[in-house]
Amino acid sequence: MHDPHSERMSSTEQRAAAGLAAVFAFRMLGMFMVLPVLATYGQDLAGATPLLIGLAIGAYGLTQAALQIPFGMLSDRIGRLPVIYFGLLVFAFGAGLAACADSIWGVIAGRVLQGAGAISAAVMALLSDLTREQHRTKAMATIGMSIGLSFAVAMVVGPLLTRAFGLAGLFWATAAMALLGILIVAVLVPRPPRALATREAGVAPQALGPTLRHPDLLRLDFGIAALHAILMASFVALPLALVEQGGLPKEEHWWVYLSALLVGFFAMIPFIIYGEKKRQMKRMLLGAVSVLLLCELFFWQFGGSLRALVIGNVVFFAAFNLLEASLPSLISKVAPAGGKGTAMGVYSTSQFLGAALGGLLGGWLFQQGGVDAVFLGCALLAALWLAFAATMREPPYVTSLRLALSPAALQEPGLVERLKAVPGVADAVVVAEEAAVYVKVDKLQVDRTTLERLVEPAPAC
């Protein structure tokens, strides 16, 4: 029997984190590989226009946004594994449909179907079922890193695969990755003892209203929507700018993205450390959004040479990676006690909606005024985001904890008030149906062991 309070992850937890991170990585790799190639190779498809290519780039976001919360709730009812298997099969079928398409509409249909395999919430809920609360943050960070890595790999592998096998080959590779994901879940991921519908891992309907009325959460939701809209719109224009203004053949684009992502990844690390350690997350956020805005203006004004486009790409991806990594951390800090799962569900939905709208916006702007119109439109969106973010309060530097309650502790009056009186406890809420209390704590002031002792009632004399 593994010690429930051990500071080390058990082998089961390690297998769960590694296996589910791999599933996420393969699935997101299939989503992202299309980004650097569709604007250039997609022009050869029947009926292709810039607007429809933009729609194809972001189309997966529409169904992903609509279905990921319902699929997460369905996994609470029928189990995680059936939802994950079904979602991966739908994703593979969508990739196959896009691979067989000879028109832009066929690719759009395939991308819409890919997005319908919306398993993100179910995978995160399964990870929560398979890990203890004190290790859940590490396990979720593993998945976060796998998504970031898959994005970096996709920017390089997408152009290389398409160069070798065409768009159809790229989509068939995507289908194969989804099927490999099914195999990983079947073989590597442990079976959960039972589904735990906790408020940290899934959407709680009763927490939805407060989440949608929370001003700072809404600012962050707008931020992730704007970030992914800017990303998708930029990928309507950047590959074409590299060809037309930089004189770089589409088969050679991989090295630009590889350089940008490698430099951008290492460039962001000091800023992440600064924001967290020095408790300057708001300043870091505003700085990164400002850099994103300046990048788009730079592309607009000076993107006429390959050197300028490469430099712009490097700085763009440094800012993008920094924002992509820091926004979920801010959501976790700002969400009220017991509301993290719901806040993350709304956040993810906003991200996918942003991707869908960004593809459409990029395609429409390109039809109106070429790459310059896209870059200027992205700059305006970044400026709007900067205005929203500037009014945000400095986030509380707290962590969410979930403490199990005994039947006696659950009946004890005044527990929440007693917890809130502890220095370093920002918020607390008892959820009777889970026999647990959710607490937001500053770990520099109070630790988990102290709180666990506090929630247990004193023995009767």
DSSP string, 254-306: HHHHHHHHHHHHHHHHHHHHHHHHTT-HHHHHHHHHHHHHHHHHHHHHHTTSH
Higher per-residue confidence, 10 vs 97: 97
* pLDDT for position 93: 97
Joined together, the tokens standing for residue 433 give 């149906």
Joined together, the tokens standing for residue 437 give 């209390």
Which structural domains are found in the chain, ordered by start?
12-190 (1.20.1250.20), 209-393 (1.20.1250.20), 399-455 (3.30.70.100)
* pLDDT for position 176: 95
Contact predicate 457/408, CB 8 Å? yes
d(Cα 351, Cα 287) in Å, to the nearest integer? 20
What's the N-to-C CA distance of the chain in angstroms?
32
pLDDT at 25 over 70: yes
For tokens 């920017």, what's the residue?
Answer: 155
Of 111-115, 446-450, 454-458, the one with minimum mean pLDDT is: 454-458
The stretch 433-445 carries a mean pLDDT of 83
Helical pair 215-244 and 340-390, crossing angle rounded to 10 deg? 70
Contact predicate 202/72, CB 8 Å? yes
Among 57, 90, 127, residue whose Cα is nearest residue 344 = 127
Residues facing residue 438 across a β-bridge: 402, 429
Higher per-residue confidence, 104 vs 461: 104
Per-residue confidence band for 389, with pLDDT thresholds at 50, 70 and 90: very high
Side-chain-side CA neighbours of residue 403 (13 Å): 28
* pLDDT for position 461: 47
d(Cα 166, Cα 36) in Å, to the nearest integer? 13
d(Cα 394, Cα 284) in Å, to the nearest integer? 11
The stretch 291-297 carries a mean pLDDT of 96
d(Cα 284, Cα 289) in Å, to the nearest integer? 9
Of 40-44, 61-65, 339-343, the one with minimum mean pLDDT is: 339-343
Contact predicate 91/147, CB 8 Å? no
103 DSSP assignment: B
Joined together, the tokens standing for residue 278 give 């020095």
The stretch 215-222 carries a mean pLDDT of 94
d(Cα 422, Cα 452) in Å, to the nearest integer? 12
Per-residue confidence band for 382, with pLDDT thresholds at 50, 70 and 90: very high
d(Cα 38, Cα 111) in Å, to the nearest integer? 12
Q: Phi then psi for 25, rounded to 5 degrees?
A: -60, -45
Long-range CB contact pairs, 366-373, < 8 A, 24+: 366/50, 366/51, 366/54, 366/236, 366/237, 366/240, 367/49, 367/50, 367/51, 371/237, 371/240, 371/241, 371/244, 371/245, 371/299, 371/303, 372/300
pLDDT at 234 over 50: yes
Q: Tell me the pTM.
A: 0.90
Per-residue confidence band for 87, with pLDDT thresholds at 50, 70 and 90: very high
* pLDDT for position 170: 95
d(Cα 394, Cα 334) in Å, to the nearest integer? 9
* pLDDT for position 194: 67
336 DSSP assignment: P
User: What is the percentage of the chain residues whose pLDDT exceeds 70?
Assistant: 95
Joined together, the tokens standing for residue 316 give 């763009």
pLDDT at 237 over 90: yes
Higher per-residue confidence, 85 vs 268: 85
* pLDDT for position 401: 82
The stretch 33-43 carries a mean pLDDT of 91
Per-residue confidence band for 366, with pLDDT thresholds at 50, 70 and 90: very high
Among 24, 30, 356, 355, residue whose Cα is nearest residue 171 = 30
The stretch 14-24 carries a mean pLDDT of 89
DSSP string, 180-223: HHHHHHHHTSPPPSS----TTTS--HHHHHHHHT-HHHHHHHHH
* pLDDT for position 1: 38
pLDDT at 157 over 80: yes
pLDDT at 175 over 70: yes
Q: What is the pLDDT of residues 52-77, one digit of tens each?
A: 999 999 999 999 999 988 998 888 88
Contact predicate 98/114, CB 8 Å? yes
Long-range CB contact pairs, 7-12, < 8 A, 24+: 7/134, 9/131, 9/135, 9/138, 9/139, 12/130, 12/190
* pLDDT for position 82: 93
The stretch 344-352 carries a mean pLDDT of 91
Helix and strand numbers, DSSP H then E, in the chain: 17, 3
pLDDT at 199 over 70: no
Kindly report the average pLDDT of the chain as a whole number. 87
* pLDDT for position 125: 83
Contact predicate 94/102, CB 8 Å? no
Per-residue confidence band for 172, with pLDDT thresholds at 50, 70 and 90: very high
d(Cα 289, Cα 193) in Å, to the nearest integer? 43
